[in-house]
Amino acid sequence: MKLNPYVLPLGAVLIWSANAVVCKLAASVLDPAAIAFFRWLIAGLLLTPFMLRPVWRQRRLVLACLPKLMVLGVLGMVLYQCLAYVAAQTTSATNMGLLAAMMPLMAVGLSVLWLGEAPTRGALFGGILSLLGLVLLLSQGHPSALLSQGIARGDVLMLIACLAYAAYGVLLKRWNLPLARWPSLFMQIWCANVLLFGYYLYRGAPPVSAAGVPLVLFAAIAASVLAPMLWMIGLARLGPCCTTALMNLMPVFTVAIAVLWLGESLQLSHLLGGAVVLAGVVLAQAWKRPLLRPRPSDLIDTFCYNSGDARR
191, pLDDT greater than 60: yes
Of the candidates 130, 80, 138, the one whose C-alpha atom is nearest the C-alpha of residue 105 is 130
Q: Could you tell me if 268 and 96 are in contact, meaning their C-beta atoms sit under 8 angstroms apart?
A: no
Q: What is the mean pLDDT of the chain?
A: 84
Query: How would residue 309 be classed by pLDDT, with cut points 50, 70 and 90?
Result: very low
Number of Cβ within 10 Å of residue 304's Cβ equals 10
Of the candidates 274, 248, 273, 285, the one whose C-alpha atom is nearest the C-alpha of residue 125 is 285
Query: How would residue 254 be classed by pLDDT, with cut points 50, 70 and 90?
Result: confident
The 3-state DSSP class for residue 120 equals strand
Rounded CA-CA distance 219/37 in Å is 11
Provide, rounded to the nearest whole percent, the portion of the chain with pLDDT above 70: 88
pTM of the predicted structure, to 2 decimals: 0.83
Q: Could you tell me if 126 and 283 are in contact, meaning their C-beta atoms sit under 8 angstroms apart?
A: yes
Q: Which of 169-178, 212-221, 260-269 has the lowest mean pLDDT?
A: 260-269
Query: How would residue 312 be classed by pLDDT, with cut points 50, 70 and 90?
Result: very low
302, pLDDT greater than 90: no
> What phi and psi values does residue 209 have, to the nearest 5 degrees?
-75, 165
pLDDT at site 142: 67
Rounded CA-CA distance 71/53 in Å is 23
pLDDT at site 137: 76
52-111 pLDDT tens trace: 999 999 999 999 999 999 999 999 999 999 999 999 998 888 888 888 888 888 888 888
Dmax (CA) of the chain: 67
pLDDT at site 23: 92
